[in-house]
Amino acid sequence: MVFSSTLFVFVFLPAVIACYFLIPKRFLPLRNLVLLGFSLGFYFLGEPKYVLVMLASILANYLFGYCIGKAQASGRTGKALLALSVAVNLGGLVFFKYVPFMTENINRLFGTAMAIPEIVMPIGISFFTFQAMSYVFDVYKKTVAVQKNPLNVALYVSMFPQLIAGPIVRYETIANEIQKRETNVSKFSEGVIRFVYGFAKKVVLANAMGKIADAVFSQPVGQLSGAVAWVGALAYSFQIFYDFSGYSDMGIGLGRMFGFTFLENFDFPYISKSITEFWRRWHISLGTWFRDYLYIPLGGNRAGAARQVFNLFVVWLLTGFWHGAAWNFVVWGLFYFIILTAEKFLLKKTGFKNPLFHLYALLLIVVGWVIFRSESMSYAFGYLGRMFSPAAFGAGGGEAVYYLREYLPEWILAAVFSVPAGRALSGVASRLKQGQAVCETARLVFLFAVFLIAILFLVNSTFNPFIYFRF
């Protein structure tokens, strides 16, 4: 089940809200139990058998946290247990996600003919594994107390607002909220606003851009004109942003309804003037996870230039792998490693002040998305060749015109809302003391117009999977 489905919006969500809020505030553990039950149910409805994998992950990480806490209480570091927890977590991830890929490549490299196992990857395994690991790391670092109640650990890992596609919630950010949080009309309405706009981003913008991107990327690369290749690349750039940030908005909004405050996951990444800045604005929860749990423990930028480059290499290699078991994801990760290294060592003095850096960043981001979206590296190279080869611009203009004209409203909205336009408007509105009521009425009307239009789009669609489901 996905958030942008009629079953979720009109059956699951009202059911969980009703069951949760019917319980008085003072019975928070009971409310947590309801949330846990619905979260496990949410996952079960999509992956009936693999809910056991998630439960196993929860149990294992609960025990690791408990044991590390015990070890540290008795004067030991708990490092061995930490290493074991990493091995177990990553082992599970490798098994479900990477074994077929590894087998295929071993066969290719060594000429062997091992059977490629057909392993079904549980949805969201990359997200909930990293989330569970975050709990163990935070216990080890002593930034949080050991959570003695396994149900609270289960709730943290499985909470449906962020279970399948993030944001990757760090345990330390919500540890207190699990045991003590407030729900009120103010938070609920904030959550509604966030959810509705995220919902609209997904079903109106992401899905429209997805239709263009899917149509273009399904064509043999030799048939692509330069214009169509650019349209497809830009469409995918918008699709992945609105799909992912929309889902994050919905997750953050849903969390807020139930009293949780999740950290932001996107901060208008397409206004970046450097790739360094881009990765501070894009999928923030993943970037900070790798920074705090891998880059810094490896030494970060404090062990000399050569070591820093090595650390960056490891982080971006694994970032690529995290996104998928295919070489194009690895190349995508290393693509950013090269650019980030160059920016740190060659371009840093520029301060990225020249406005042309914005174009520089956008160009590299779009190129990166082409690599990311392509089914293979040969396709990616071919596609990029069509984008940058003057000879490819001869024919095929009609198809590009169609995608631009047919989806003109979505292109305009996608471009406008990829920059902080809404924030600017809110800023202007909030400075108008007179007419505040008018502004708030307009906001309310606008919000529900957006919600109803998004529902129309949803009902008219049939199937709209999230991109990040394969992670």
Partner 1 sequence: MKIKLFQILTAALFLAVIFTVPILTKLEGNAAFSQFEYRELAKPPVLEGAGTLFDPAYYTQWETYFSDHVWQRETMMALYTRLNIGLRPVVNDVVIQDDLLLPFIQFGQPDNDDLRFHADRMAGKLAALNETVKSYGGSFTYLVVPEQFSFFRDRYPLYLNNHAERLGTIERFLSEELDERGVDTLMMRQVFDSDEYYSRTDHHFSYQGAYFTYLTLMEKLNAGNHRLPVPEDIAFIDLENPFYGSRNRKLYGLYPSEERLSYYVEASPLPIKRTDNGTRLDYPVFELPADAETPVTYAMYMGGDIGETVIETNRPELPSALIFGDSFTNPLETFLYHSFNETRSLDLRYYPEDFSVLAYIERYRPDYVFCMRDDISSLSVLGNGNIQ
Catalytic residues: 323
**Binding-site member from 24, 48, 111, 390 for partner 1 (CB under 8 A):** 48
Instruction: Tell the smallest beta-carbon distance from residue 447 to partner 1 (Å).
Output: 7
Longest CA span, the chain: 76
Which 28-47 residues touch partner 1, going by CB under 8 A? Answer: 45-47
Among the listed ranges 85-93, 128-136, 279-287, 447-455, the one in contact with partner 1 (CB under 8 A) is 447-455
Q: Tell me if 16 sits within 8 A of 31, measured CB to CB.
A: no
What is the rounded distance in angstroms from the CA atom of residue 218 to the CA atom of residue 212?
10
Cβ burial 25-60 (10 Å sphere, 16+ → b, else e): eeebeebbbbbbebbbbbbeebbeebbebbeebbeb
Contacts 24+ apart (CB under 8 A), 231-237: 231/400, 231/403, 231/404, 232/383, 233/366, 233/367, 233/369, 233/370, 233/383, 233/387, 234/366, 235/209, 235/210, 235/403, 236/209, 236/369, 236/370, 236/373, 237/270, 237/365, 237/366, 237/369
Q: Is 440 in the site for partner 1 (CB under 8 A)?
A: yes
In terms of CB distance, is 342 or 408 closer to partner 1?
A: 408
| Residue 426 in the binding site for partner 1 (CB under 8 A) | no
CB of 157 to partner 1, least distance (A): 21
274: tokens are 């450097």
451 binds partner 1 (CB under 8 A): yes
Between CA 238 and CA 415 the distance in angstroms is 8
Using CB under 8 A, pick the residue from 298, 455, 469, 470 that binds partner 1: 455
Name the residue nearer to partner 1 (CB basis): 196 or 339: 196
| CA angle in degrees (0–180, nearest 5) for 397-399-403 | 115
- Residue 450 interacts with partner 1 (CB under 8 A)? no
- Interface with partner 1 includes 1 (CB under 8 A)? yes
Q: Is 446 a residue that touches partner 1 (CB under 8 A)?
A: no
- Applying CB under 8 A, does 399 fall inside the site for partner 1? yes
Which of 34, 154, 164, 193 binds partner 1 (CB under 8 A)? It is 193
SS3 166: coil
Phi then psi dihedrals of residue 193, to 5 deg: -60, -45
Q: Distance between CA 417 and CA 382 in Å, rounded?
A: 31
Stretch that binds partner 1, among 55-63, 97-105, 130-138, 459-467 (CB under 8 A): 459-467
Determine, following the binding rule CB under 8 A, whether residue 63 of this chain makes contact with partner 1: no
Interface characters, 161-190, with partner 1 (x: CB under 8 A): ------------------------xx-xxx
Binding residues for partner 1, per CB under 8 A?
Answer: 1, 5-7, 9-11, 13-14, 17-18, 45-49, 185-186, 188-190, 192-193, 196, 215, 219, 223, 396-399, 401-402, 405-409, 436-437, 440-441, 443-444, 447-448, 451-453, 455-457, 459-460, 462
